[in-house]
Amino acid sequence: MGAEQKVVIITGASQGIGADLVKAYRDRNYRVVANSRAIKPSSDPDILAVPGDVADPKTAERLVTQAIERFGRVDSLVNNAGIFIAKPFTHYTDEDFAPIVSINLGGFFSLTRRVAAEMLKRGSGHIVQITTSLIDHANSNVPSVLASLTKGGLNAATRSLAIEYAKKGIRVNAVAPGVIKTPMHAPETHEFLANLHPVGRMGETKDIVDAVLFLESAPFVTGEILHVDGGQSAGH
């Protein structure tokens, strides 16, 4: 069975959505290559932890090289790592801009390009980006131009790659979350954030994990931006 087990690479895998994605894919008997700057080694032989900043092309190279050396294949990629900074536009600084672009866009480019090359050799694969519902539903209470600039680029790239690879066996999709309850949001902000959603609550990490797994098991779905946002993208 070992050679036939599917393999997924997950970035931003040390906490929150990423950590739960690792558990969920293991529950589906995938072997997992897990990355974040602070990732710790796993006692599970089917989880390969590869520390490093995904914005560094050398990290992307290590992720793919070690995935092939250890497991022999790459079937799926979840581009989960990202930075979100909410500020009025004129308050952003060059120091804000550089890491957001290098991680949200540069990390996607460096890793996805290498993974796609491996998938093309096999003639199959699935790539998923985690973006944000704010791209389609801007909110003056959450000014976030840099998120829209970078994650919006990922939505556009998702559609473009889906069409480029549609006849080559590779599907490309994205999940666009609302505000998800993770360590990134302090408990005292939860009431305010919950009220941003028509359903009146924040999302849970499970909501995003379930969406990714749906896309993983939906062979007729590609180029989809799946909103998991408590109704935000529908209106208020």
**205-230 pLDDT per residue, tens:** 999 999 999 999 999 999 999 999 99
pLDDT tens sequence across 59-109: 999 999 999 999 999 999 999 999 999 999 999 999 999 999 999 999 999
Confidence of residue 4 (pLDDT cuts 50, 70, 90): confident
50 vs 3: which has the higher pLDDT: 50
Residue 32: exposure state from Cβ atoms within 10 A (0-12, 13-18, ≥19): buried
Query: Cβ(108)–Cβ(161) under 8 Å?
Result: no
Mean pLDDT, rounded, for 12-17: 94
pLDDT of residue 236: 80
* Per-residue pLDDT at 186 exceeds 90: no
Closest-CA residue to 136 (of 157, 108, 155): 155
- Buried-exposed string 224-235: b where 16+ CB fall within 10 A, e elsewhere: bbbbbbbebbee
pLDDT tens sequence across 147-156: 999 999 999 9
Confidence of residue 30 (pLDDT cuts 50, 70, 90): very high
Query: Which pTM value belongs to this model?
Result: 0.95
Mean pLDDT, rounded, for 120-132: 97
208/89 Cα distance (integer angstroms): 28
* Per-residue pLDDT at 185 exceeds 60: yes
* Per-residue pLDDT at 8 exceeds 90: yes
202/179 Cα distance (integer angstroms): 6
pLDDT of residue 2: 47
Query: Cβ(94)–Cβ(101) under 8 Å?
Result: no
Class of 2-226 in CATH: alpha beta
Q: Residue 64: how many CB atoms within 10 A of its CB?
A: 22
Residue 214: exposure state from Cβ atoms within 10 A (0-12, 13-18, ≥19): middle
Confidence of residue 183 (pLDDT cuts 50, 70, 90): confident
Mean pLDDT, rounded, for 194-202: 94
pLDDT of residue 1: 38
